[in-house]
């Protein structure tokens, strides 16, 4: 069976529900990671003790990494390519 034929094959109900659950989880986790990144970038506006403890560039770098990872999780949830290894 060629790879193209496998991709066009219908999924059973169990695989569809797994795909839906995993996609929703990726959307949710992506939003949480992106929100944490925005929080880290604008941490001085939230008046936390962490902003005084560590450097501003550390928070901005970690915030950018969190936003990039969050966008990746959202993209992965959108593409729904979870059955590649089968």
Q: List pLDDT tens digits, range 15-40.
A: 888 888 999 999 999 999 999 999 99
So what's the pLDDT on residue 52? 78
Question: What pLDDT score was predicted for residue 29?
Answer: 96
Residue 77 lies in a domain: yes
Q: Is residue 45 part of a domain?
A: yes
Q: What is the mean pLDDT of residues 38-66?
A: 86
When computed from its CA atoms, the radius of gyration of the chain, rounded to whole angstroms, is 19
Q: Is residue 8 part of a domain?
A: no
Q: Do residues 11 and 86 touch, judged by C-beta distance below 8 A?
A: no
Mean pLDDT, the chain, integer: 83
pLDDT at 12: 81
67: in domain: yes
Residue 49 covered by a domain: yes
Residue-range definition of the domain harbouring residue 75: 31-86
At what angle are helices 13-41 and 56-79 packed, to 10 degrees? 160
Q: Are 43 and 50 in contact (CB under 8 A)?
A: yes
Question: For residue 66, is it within any domain?
Answer: yes
- Taking alpha carbons only, the member of 82, 83, 66, 75 closest to residue 32 is 66
Q: Dig out the tokens for 54 from the structure.
A: 């560590």
* Domain tally, the chain: 1
pTM of the model: 0.75
């Amino acid at each position: 069976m060629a790879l193209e034929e496998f991709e066009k094959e219908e999924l059973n109900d169990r695989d569809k529900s797994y795909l839906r659950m995993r996609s929703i989880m990726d959307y949710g986790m992506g939003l949480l990671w992106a929100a944490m990144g925005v929080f880290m970038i604008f941490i001085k506006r939230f008046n936390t003790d962490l902003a005084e403890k560590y450097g501003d560039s550390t928070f901005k770098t970690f915030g950018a990494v969190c936003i990039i990872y969050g966008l990746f999780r959202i993209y992965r949830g959108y593409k729904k390519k979870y059955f590649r290894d089968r």
